Chains A and B, each alone.
Chain A
């Protein structure tokens, strides 16, 4: 693994992504301005005259010609200023920094849960191809991805909170009566462990259980399928047959030899799912009152709040580029045969 070519590869990929990011900035600006409605009138509330509305529009800087507004926006961006949210009154950058860990924590928990279920399912299905177990695993996975996330979330809340009372109230990341642990990583599960507070860890775990389950169901199908396919491919490969002929114990064969080599496509799938989960879990966040970036963007769009929308899209695009780059690099690290062409 030549690290020089790795860096050159990474640099080239980032450079290639820049035109796309620039396109994103322009398109987002245009689209937000095309959203019908007058933010000045909306935020003015009930005022007595249009003169007031005009003055408010002037104060908001929304009466400047669009090109000027765009130049001001790009200028702010160059200084690292993502603007202010009209509806929350907070700087967009600060809000995104607070909300990204929330979305990330949810996504990571969902993926972990999904892997915990999908990998054994996929392995089971791969070892008995064509059997009813194989079909059952497939059905479970496919059923998961067929459920609308907003519906699953509502159902889970109804069953586990209203009826059974096992899950805590879906009020967000943390229960109403407790103070969250001091924020270090921004992820409450980790922060509570770092603070050594098991009560808070348990509380946070309770809050994240249902939304993570809702999202995990969605990730089950591709992960199960990919694990199964990868395992099948590897199990029938030469080196595994060789190991089996050499008398390696079955479990060791399965989980050490075969799985490690079947990891590649699973990693790719994981990456794809992660990047789509991060920005697109708008509906889950809405249903569970989860303060993540998805609900942030949704609220911004509905309230004609330009700055958070623009900030959100820009940050998410950068995150996608980085995740895709990360996957490709991880790919190369796992499989020494992959060469990075600079």
Chain B
């Protein structure tokens, strides 16, 4: 294409960036190769992984600034991509651990040579303080509860390098829960020096300062503009990363991010609309990877407490009416895994899995007629303005398809703050959203989204089914594989039949990077782990 040729020749010679590159000496060229330039839409709003109101980007940056006791191993997926291995935990700050015979506690032995960024040693006291902090503040406590970690009393310092974690709930998720972002290990002495009587956990100070031991230190942070990380040369949590510097630039416009990548002014982005990833993959000038986001699906939700969606036939009618292929091919550009057109009954323990629905307007109309709504009805379809580039085309297709069976849905485009809130307050009759759970186990997904007893903020459909609740309970606690499989079958069948949430696709976690870069490992938090990346 003419534009690209022009780009390569004229542009490369004339842009200010390239000019500065032309003046580089061989030594600086080396340093450019060892610097990774990442462009994102929004950066972190805090440096504290346990902070209040921290956004996704915070979790990603602090993942690299802090260490945890243990980490997830790496597995290779069938498509050749590398992903975190939920079932395989590896040492990080803890060099080994032993589980008690009755499963009621785990004892960790810390590496004796691990140090924080300020040079002081990492001790069990630091670990206890950090874990206490995690369970004593509402934001991280929510995640810690998932693994049965709820009270400071559960964390017992045995000696300077040994700590025991008591697990009264015997939860299967306890160990993985210590490998996620919330139980990051803080430099307790440093934090306590900045604590006040009003703020005993140094929450204010930790917002803008780091107290970690991670593979990277914070070189600079200009909010809403740029963050620079520098490699921690004395890191002991694993193999020293390749990149000496990570420069993360915030560029709000996705078009600009894409252009920077294409022109080589940026090395990596995971923050583009599916269409751009599809185009870049086709052009083959960059490496584009797509990994199905574990335990995640994009769905159309219906409020089971609002007429007429309280009638399961109406919900099923909607499920038969959705234009799945159009959505998947045109709006999602094929960047995902189809969750429609599957067998009539659930298969195995894998989640998410394809639902039996496909586009069949006649069947939809028949169901509506059965429910006494042959003439159709009016409703609203809400979606998140923040993800409008993907979601708006999806909603336009849905609106049209529903109109075809007599349902007039007015599209309601809501700012991000409003949609999540109105889902929480159960105000949306019909909406498009996504849900994903960090722990790659179906029962945890169902607990947060489908459990009627919990009736959590994500359960916008107000779904409640006692049989499902019981099955979720069983699945979370049993160690008998057959009881487990049976419970899952109950849950999956109910999800498919009652269909309060109609899955459209399991979206990809997409990454586009210069061909010279490799080592990408898909993480559960869908942000970047810079440690395994390398160039050349």
Contacts and interface: CB of A to CB of B under 8 A. Distances in A.
A–B touch (CB < 8 A): the answer is: yes
Interface of A: 35-39, 41-50, 52-53, 55-56, 59-60, 85-90, 95, 157, 161-172, 175-178, 199, 202-203, 206-207, 286-287, 289, 291, 295-296, 299, 302-304
Given A48-B142, A60-B52, A289 B251 contact: yes
A42 B3 contact: no
B253 A203 contact: no
Given A177-B17, A177-B20, A89 B251 contact: no
9 shortest interchain CB distances as A-B pairs: A165-B11, A43-B53, A304-B417, A37-B417, A55-B138, A38-B421, A37-B418, A42-B417, A47-B142
A90 B457 contact: no
A157 B253 CA distance: 12
Contacts of A289: 250-253, 256
Contacts of A47: 138-139, 142, 456-457
B328 to A, nearest CB: 25
B456 A169 contact: no
A37 B20 contact: no
Interface centre among B15, B260, B417 (most CB of A within 10 A): B417
B188 interface: no
B259 interface: yes
A166 B14 contact: yes
B349 interface: no
B424 A41 contact: yes
A261 B247 CA distance: 53
Given A56-B53, A89-B207, A175 B417 contact: no
B17 A175 contact: yes
A163 B17 contact: no
Contacts of B146: 48
Given A38-B417, A50-B456, A178-B20, A88 B12 contact: no
B424 A38 contact: yes
Contact of A168 (B16, B250, B454): B16
Nearest to A57: B138
B14 A171 contact: no
Interface centre among A48, A86, A296 (most CB of B within 10 A): A48
B16 A171 contact: no
B223 A168 contact: no
Given A38-B425, A53-B457, A169-B17, A176 B37 contact: yes
Nearest to B139: A56
A171 B223 contact: no
Contacts of B374: none
Contacts of B3: 162-163
Contacts of B265: 169, 176
A164 B6 contact: yes
A36 B454 CA distance: 26
Given A43-B53, A49-B454, A59-B52, A165 B256 contact: no
24 contacts: A37-B421, A41-B421, A41-B424, A42-B416, A42-B417, A42-B420, A43-B52, A47-B139, A50-B455, A56-B53, A165-B10, A165-B12, A165-B13, A166-B10, A168-B15, A169-B256, A169-B260, A170-B256, A172-B225, A175-B16, A176-B266, A177-B20, A291-B225, A302-B415
Contact of A59 (B138, B385, B421, B425): B138
